[in-house]
Amino acid sequence: MTSSSLDRRVAAVRHFNRFYTRRIGVLNERLVDGPFSLAEARVLYELANRKRLTASALGATLGLDAGYLSRILKAFERRGYVARTRSRHDRRRHHLALTAAGRRAFRPVDARSQRDVGAMLRVLDEPQRRRLTAAMATIERLLGGAVLEQPVTIRRHRPGDIGWTIAASGRVYTEEYGWDPTIEAFVAELMARFLYRYDAKREGCWLAEIGGETAGCIALMRQSEGVAQLRTFVITRAARGRGVGKALLAECLRFARAAGYRKAVLRTQKGLDAARHLYEAAGFNLVREEPHRSWGKDHIGQYWELKL
């Protein structure tokens, strides 16, 4: 990255920082209509939502100077908001907790924050809210933050989603496995045929989302009256290890059984071990292997079947 390009990125980040601090009102030294500073409110929030915190862990979480945090905690103790208990495992350490009085003091602060953020989100429609929270999660993840753990949700495809499945397939297989870009053309042709002949009662494409961000996809296509074929099973790198693949595969097979198929089949390539483990766990059996050359590579194609 050139120095001029970096300067533009710096300017963009600073512009966003100025906008967002104005938007959430943190330029005020004290929170609106409240008795606590922003730092004090953050300390109360952590103590209200986490157990067995020590002062050092609290300081590390909030990035607060140890002396500054110590003064806040002592003031809270004098007001009866915080209690210390000695650790049973290490007598030199103390755990911090809010008292009943501390929780009463924090309650209106928390309600005010909930109300203000809710008001900000209510002016957006649901797709915009998903985009906003997904973008926030991306910022946290890229900058090393502890992103809020979000559940995996599965939904049927909507207009525009098929393009995501094509692009994701192209990225995953070219970047991670070294296949050439014709894999993206292959998936584009496959999904175009899917859309042209789409029968919602017997076929489907499902996408997984985490915190509003698309994390994976899978499709089921009619091969014959009694046989369904699984296609375009892709999980983003950032979402792996979260149960996304298992959830997508389970939903796909649930639909296949409900649609009356007797058998589900799939074709994959040897070496895609993460997917293979999911197929085996779901009860698929490997029925044959065949060598072929596709997408700029030599492969061993694998054919799997599952009686439904």
Its sign, for the CA torsion 294, 173, 282, 205, is negative
Reported for 67-76, long-range contacts at CB under 8 A and 24+ positions apart, including other chains, are: 68/39, 69/43, 72/39, 72/40, 72/43, 73/43, 76/40, 76/43, 76/44, 76/102
Q: 48: Cβ–Cβ under 8 A, 6 or more apart, which residues?
A: 98, 102, 103, 106, 110
Q: Do domains 3-141 and 152-307 have the same CATH topology?
A: no
In order along its 308 residues, the chain shows pLDDT tens digits of 567 778 888 888 888 888 877 776 654 544 555 688 878 888 888 888 888 788 888 888 888 888 988 999 999 999 999 988 886 766 667 888 899 998 998 898 888 888 888 888 899 888 888 888 878 877 877 787 655 567 889 999 999 999 999 999 999 999 999 999 999 999 999 999 999 999 999 999 999 998 778 899 999 999 999 999 999 999 998 888 888 999 999 999 999 999 999 999 999 999 999 899 999 999 999 999 999 999 999 999 999 999 99
CB 205 within 8 A of CB 232: yes
Mean of pLDDT over the chain: 87
List the Cα angle 132/133/138 in 5-degree steps: 100
Query: Hey, what CATH class is 152-307 in?
Result: alpha beta
Q: Which two tokens stand for residue 129?
A: 């809210």
Q: For residue 156, what is the enclosing H or E element?
A: strand 152-156
Beta carbons of 284 and 305 less than 8 angstroms apart: yes
User: Does residue 99 contact residue 83 with C-beta atoms inside 8 Å?
Assistant: yes
Q: 3-141 is classed in which CATH architecture?
A: Orthogonal Bundle (1.10)
pLDDT of 1: 59
Q: Where are the alpha helices (DSSP H) in the chain?
A: 3-24, 38-49, 55-62, 66-78, 100-122, 126-142, 161-175, 182-196, 244-258, 273-282
Distances (CA, A) of 98 to 41, 101, 122, 283: 13, 8, 32, 50
What are the structural domain ranges in the chain?
A: 3-141, 152-307
Q: How far apart are CA 196 and CA 176, in angstroms?
A: 30
Q: Residue length, the chain?
A: 308
Q: What is the rounded distance in angstroms from the CA atom of residue 200 to the CA atom of residue 186?
A: 23
Question: What gap in Å lies between CA 2 and CA 297, rounded to an integer?
Answer: 35
- Prediction pTM value: 0.64
Query: Looking at residue 27, what is its pLDDT?
Result: 45
Q: Is the dihedral of CA 194, 197, 203, 206 positive or negative?
A: positive
pLDDT tens digit sequence for 53-91 = 888 888 888 888 889 889 999 999 999 999 888 867 666
